[in-house]
A and B are shown apart, each in its own frame.
Chain A
Amino acid sequence: MKKLLKKIYLKSTNKSLPYSLNSVKIDCQVLSLDEPTATISFDDQSPVYDVDRNIDYGIINGVLDNYLDELLNKNVAITSFVIPKFNINGFEDNQFMLKKHKLWYSKLNKLQSNKFEVAIHGLAHYQNKTPFQNHCEFAFISNNDFEIKLKKSIELFQEIGFNPKGFRQPGWDFSTDISLDTFSKSGLDYIAGSSLDAGLNSTNLNMDKIFPCKINNLINMPQNIELKWDFDKMTNEIDRIVSLNGLVSIKAHFADNKVVNSLDKDNRIKLFEIVDYINDKHNIQWKTFKDILKIV
């Protein structure tokens, strides 16, 4: 029955399943840190307002506009995974290319420092709709197509003066055909491609959840704290990671509602509280992913 379902699924998509890295030979090495470190990463930050779903992804003067500044004032380090060409229903294809939003990216550019880094979150975050599930843009594509999209994405960032070094795939989706060597060939230094149970960890625990890993000559950054957890669960896990000299990696969506781990009103307050908790109790160093590379 399971085989039959899989056959129907594959036939309907006519391509290989996403997520699974069973066919990829992984040479993985866990990298230790000298001292516990903390970082925050955001996905989806964009000048776009999603009309269909009524989500603000950080537009100018929107509800999240000052949030980055307020967080950075607490001396944290943030890596923001930005979509260079957000694809929203009903809009022309080029409407949301970053270069059309000078005010927005200029502000982001000013923030760039050792406490704030901009990295790549795909090209358009486009969702493939299959009869069974929705997947994002890298779920069912060949390595060639992936390479083209990644190159385009890097170009869009370079056009506006950014030089991103990291990558996180939208929706944690990777096709099995994608070679991890493509990242290093494209000039990227790291991926943040695994969560606790998704991305590179979706079918097998390929990546360590607490420490960065070296995987096929590329470094993967873990994500291990979710904003949707309650406060106690978060602090318990933070205490455990710190006791192991690990990387406390908090992840959220830079969206003001609806999506999982979003920065809605409650979560915004919760994140402040967690930052205060880490600073007060553990007083550990904060680093962006790019800077963590220098210490592993």
Chain B
Amino acid sequence: MIDYIVLIPTHNRPEKLSSLIDVLLPELQTRRMLLCILNSGRVDTVDKILLKLNNRNIIHLKLPDNYYWSMAISVGMKYVERYDYKFQLWINDDVKLNNRSFAIIENDLNSIDNSIYVGAFQDKNNYVSYGLRDSEKLLTPNGRLLKGSLMNGNLVVIPKELVNDIGQMPTWLRHSIGDNLYGKKAKSLGYDLLLSTEYIGYCERHDLPEPWQNNKKPKLVRFKNIFEAKGLDYFRYARYLFLYDSKNIIQRLLSPFFRILFR
């Protein structure tokens, strides 16, 4: 029985993956863990990075290069179905876990049941950067397990029973929204989303505007980016809104085009 199956989606960021693996290396030696690298990038150095681990307890799945985050997680979830494990962990390749992260996670997991656990991350100014939102506001960890409604997938822990019940990540998503959607599905089935009691690492905010939001870019580039997988991925976004978040849907679907036209 494996305790943690760790899914790490990565896309052409070998240096970030390398530093994440440096942190995970001691954990691999002391815990029953299986790392599953979901590599949709085309940088061939990943194999070399994995040699650090002496090729132990690590699976390297090479994926088509248009899979990005959501599709990669979806494939990873499908692949690890064949193992017996207790928890599934999703970790982004760009986070920096602190040395106590697994101690915090294990401590928190001891006191939760039937919930998805979301790790809180801080930026260089020590403000919360990623984690769990409630009423559009990012929650700050305060020593207790806080409930939220919209989760970010930088670090998520899901017990196997919940994965079996909630199901796989939908395969129609490419990059973004997958984590939000999975959390909403879990909420709709009556499971809680809980934030870690402490920060478990660092991750800088990606507050820079997306190309389609950036008024310094040509309008044609912005318009194209609305439909790109790493942009708004418009049609998948629309499907997501229809299915899970239909409040003000017309306004939200039209606003990107007005934004390009007038801003």
- Asked whether A54 and B64 contact (CB < 8 A) given A62-B59, A63-B83, A103-B47, the answer is no
Size category of the binding interface on chain A: 20 to 34
A51 interfacial contact with B, CB 8 Å: yes
Residues of B175-193 contacting chain A, CB below 8 A: none
- Taking a contact as CB atoms under 8 Å apart, the answer to whether A51 and B64 are in contact is yes
Q: B63 touching A51 by the CB < 8 A rule?
A: yes
Interface secondary structure of B, over-half rule? loop
**Contact A54/B79 with A49-B61, A49-B62, A90-B64 known, Cβ cut-off 8 Å:** yes
A residues 51-72 in Cβ contact with B at 8 Å: 51, 54, 56, 59-63
Inter-chain contact B82/A56, CB cutoff 8 Å: yes
A243: chain B residues within 8 A (beta carbon): none
Q: Report the separation of the CA atoms of residues A56 and B79 in the bound assembly, to the nearest whole angstrom.
A: 8
Residues of B close to A95: CB separation below 8 A = 62
Q: Which residue of B lies closest to A61 (CB)?
A: B59
Q: How far is the CA of A102 from the CA of B44 in the complex (A)?
A: 12
CA distance A103 to B83 in the complex (A): 23
A100-127 vs B, Cβ < 8 Å mask (1 yes, 0 no): 1011000000000000000000000000
Of B51, B56, B62, most buried by chain A (CB within 10 Å of CB) is B62
Output the least CB separation between A292 and chain B (Å).
Answer: 34
Interface residues of A in 75-97 (CB under 8 A from B): 89-92, 95
CA distance A84 to B63 in the complex (A): 18
Minimum distance in angstroms from B49 CB to a CB of chain A: 12
Alpha-carbon distance between A103 and B34 when the two chains are bound, in angstroms: 18
Please judge, given known A-B contacts A60-B60, A90-B64, A103-B47, whether A54 and B55 are in contact too, CB under 8 Å: no
A61 to B63, CA, bound (A): 17
B57: CB under 8 A from chain A?
yes
Q: Is the CB of B62 within 8 A of A60?
A: no
Residues of A within 8 A of B66 (CB): 90
B55 contacts across to A, CB distance below 8 A:
60-61, 103
Contacts of A91 in B (CB 8 A): 62, 64
* B7 close to chain A: CB less than 8 A: no
Nearest CB to that of A53 among chain B residues?
A: B78
Alpha-carbon gap, A91 to B61, bound state (A): 12
A256 near B63: Cβ-Cβ < 8 Å: no
Question: Which A residue's beta carbon lies closest to that of B75?
Answer: A51
Bound CA span A141–B64, Å: 29
Closest to B53 in A: A61
B58 within 8 A of A: yes
Which of A62, A91, A92, A95 has the most CB atoms of chain B within a 10 A radius of its CB? A62
A142 at interface by CB-CB < 8 Å: no
Q: Is A179 an interface residue (CB 8 A)?
A: no
Choice from B59, B63, B64 contacting A59 with Cβ under 8 Å: B59
Measured CB to CB, the nearest residue on chain A to B47 is A103
Q: How far is the CB of A136 from chain B (nearest CB, A)?
A: 22
Q: B35: nearest residue on chain A (CB-CB)?
A: A61
Instruction: State whether B59 touches A60 (Cβ < 8 A).
Output: yes
- The answer to whether B64 and A63 touch across the interface, beta carbons within 8 angstroms, is no
Min Cβ gap A264→B in Å is 9
By a CB distance below 8 angstroms, the chain A residues around B62 are 48-49, 91, 95
> Which of chain B's residues have a CB closer than 8 A to the CB of A29?
none
- Taking CB atoms, residues of chain A closer than 8 Å to B67 are 51
Instruction: Looking at the assembled complex, report how far the CB atom of A122 sits from the nearest CB atom of chain B, in whole angstroms.
Output: 21
A103 to chain B: closest CB distance in Å? 6
Contacts of A235 in B (CB 8 A): none
Nearest A residue to B50 by beta-carbon distance?
Answer: A103
Chain B, 93-151, CB within 8 A of any chain A CB: none
Whether A61 contacts B58 in the complex (CB less than 8 A), given A256-B82, A257-B82, comes out as: yes
The CA-CA distance from A51 to B56 in the complex, in Å, is 22
- Give the complex CA separation of A256 and B79 in angstroms: 11
Other A-B pairs, 18, CB within 8 Å; known A61-B55, A89-B64, A256-B82 = A48-B62, A49-B61, A51-B64, A51-B67, A51-B75, A54-B75, A54-B78, A56-B79, A59-B61, A60-B59, A60-B60, A61-B34, A61-B56, A62-B59, A63-B82, A90-B64, A95-B62, A257-B82
The 5 tightest CB contacts between A and B, nearest first, are A90-B64, A61-B59, A54-B78, A49-B61, A63-B82
Interface residues of A (CB under 8 A from B): 48-49, 51, 54, 56, 59-63, 89-92, 95, 100, 102-103, 256-257
Chain B contact residues, CB within 8 Å of chain A: 34, 42, 44, 47, 51, 55-67, 75, 78-79, 81-83
